Amino acid sequence: MNLLASSKSEHLYLQIAETFQKQILDEVLKIGDKLPSVRSLSKQHGISVSTILQAYYHLEAKGLVEPRPQSGYYVSFNPSRFPRKIEKSNPIPVVRTKNVEAIIGEVYDDLAMEGIMKFSINVPAPELLPLGALNKAMMHAMRTLPANGTSYEKIQGNDLLRRQVAQWSMTWGGQLHADDIITTAGCMNAISYCLMALTRPGDTIAIESPVYFGMLRFAKSIGLNVLELPTHPDTGVDPDDVKKALDKHDIKACFFVTNFSNPTGYCMPDEQKEAMVKLLSKYGVPLIEDDLYGDVYLGNRRPRSCKSFDEEGNVLWCSSISKTLAPGYRVGWVAPGKYIEQVKNLKLYHSITSATAQQAAIGNFLATGRYEHHLRKLRQTLHANSLHFTRAIGEYFPEEIKLSTPKGGFILWLELARHIDTYQLYQEAMQCKMSIAPGTMFTLQDRYQNCMRLSYGMQWTPEVDRGLKKLGTLVKQMM
């Protein structure tokens, strides 16, 4: 056995851990198998005991192995072993307008209750955020901004932030300039301006399905018709399906969360992104790309965005730090391509400018490398969490369930047996002080009633483990 065969990591202990992880995923090592003893491995490969222990701790932290007293380490879980995969969604190709308002309102209002375990929430928990460093960045911003941040800023937004977002675009294959970017009060705010710039009431837009419910609500509130497209849980919307829709419907804009989508967690492959951009350019239909989870990849690299393939300014690329740093700061941005003037005007009309201090603070956070530092830590935590959650769900939930396998973000999408109503499950879970997001929130059609979204963007604790166990029991009782 070559311990370092398939590894790309810099640290020796990580190289060892990755080698074992691969064997577990490939089922060379199966659940229940014993790992080599620390001492024998150390002798065999001439590696220190402490390095090997560090590798085993790492695997343990990821939920893949477990120590047993007086015995050694055993494989405890194989995340690739969920037997059933979620299939590509299959919404009917007509426009529907179910009212999801009441149920969304209920789920949101319940979040304000004390002592709720918030599996339904879609932002990282405060304990995963660098609060102290953010405070410092805010104080620095107020000290250095003209008039301490009390004045209106440029309509387009804070210069430092826009420069930093432009620089950061290299990480996803972009070549943005500060002038290409408009800051907004969060990502949904950016999307709202884009949609208003591109459509008129009565127009039709095409989106992935299931989709972030905020998008559905907003589209309805400005009188749009929504065509939901078949969506693969790993790769998202297929350009062929988009082409069919474009040939049949008069579609004014498309909307996709291309990287680690909410709720299915799919990540559109690079070649598919490129094909999508080409197709939409050919049809002259703009794409609103929501890339707010892209920085929270769990693999080795930041996935590209559709925007990085956009040569005609046809992609309106939206993002924010609400999923990585501070949802309450309301800092987001958009690179609206050739629609920049329309989007800028809408920002001016609706709110004049954004809150100045938070933008400057985030600009500073990016400029000083603190964002990158924080992301490394956050991604590690979330990766470990995704394994913990997958293990727990595999252990506690009925065998028949299907589970998404996101390569980024902090959301799992579960499909339960067909007859199970997750809104009923939600109500029962709330009795046990846990909230989940029922699947019916993520469509305007009569679908996903047996699905639900769970967030793992929190500190993994025995309480969370117990919560998932309880949730699994509730599901089993409903079978």
Stretch 271-290 residues interacting with its own copies (CB under 8 A): none
What is the DSSP code (8-state) at residue 285? -
> Would residue 63 be called left, alpha or beta, if left means φ above 0 and alpha means ψ between -120 and 50 degrees?
left
Site for its own copies in 333-352 (CB under 8 A): 345-346, 348-352
Contact flag: residue 148 with its own copies (CB under 8 A): yes
Residue 251 interacting with its own copies (CB under 8 A): no
Contacts (Cβ under 8 Å, ≥6 apart) of 141? 149, 356, 357, 358, 360, 361, 363, 364
Q: If binding is defined by CB under 8 A, does position 138 make contact with its own copies?
A: yes
The nearer residue to its own copies, 42 or 351, going by C-beta atoms, is 351
- Residue 308's SS3 state is helix
Burial 276-290 (b: 16+ CB within 10 A, else e): bbbbbbeeebbbbbb
Q: Is 457 in the site for its own copies (CB under 8 A)?
A: no
How is 315-363 classified by DSSP, letter by letter? EEEEEESTTTT-GGG--EEEE-GGGHHHHHHHHHHHHSS--HHHHHHHH
353 binds its own copies (CB under 8 A): yes
Residue 115 in contact with its own copies, rule: CB under 8 A: no
330 in contact with its own copies (CB under 8 A):
yes
Stretch that binds its own copies, among 151-159, 248-256, 449-457, 460-468 (CB under 8 A): 151-159
Is 262 in contact with 122 (CB distance < 8 Å)?
A: yes
Pick the closer one to its own copies by CB: 157 or 239.
157
**Cβ distance 337 to 312 under 8 Å?**
yes
299 binds its own copies (CB under 8 A): no
Given 1, 4, 49, 131, the residue binding its own copies (CB under 8 A): 131
Cβ-in-10-Å burial (0-12, 13-18, 19+) of 316 comes to: buried
Choose between 192 and 440: whose C-beta lies nearer to its own copies. Answer: 192
Residue of 214, 243, 430, 469 interacting with its own copies (CB under 8 A): 214
Phi, psi of 95 (to 5 degrees): -80, 125
Looking at 119, 329, 339, 410, which residue binds its own copies (CB under 8 A)? 329
How many residues form the binding site for its own copies (CB under 8 A)?
54
Q: Is 373 in the site for its own copies (CB under 8 A)?
A: no
Asked if 177 touches its own copies (CB under 8 A), the answer is no
Residue 138 or 176: which CB sits closer to its own copies? 138
Who's near 442: CB < 8 A, 6+ residues apart?
Answer: 209, 210, 211, 212, 213, 216, 263, 448, 451, 453
Q: CB–CB of 67/21 below 8 Å?
A: no
Q: In terms of CB distance, is 328 or 398 closer to its own copies? A: 328
Residues near its own copies, by CB under 8 A:
101, 108, 112, 123, 126, 129, 131, 134-135, 138-139, 142, 146-155, 185-186, 188-189, 192, 196, 200-201, 214, 217-218, 221, 223, 325-330, 345-346, 348-358
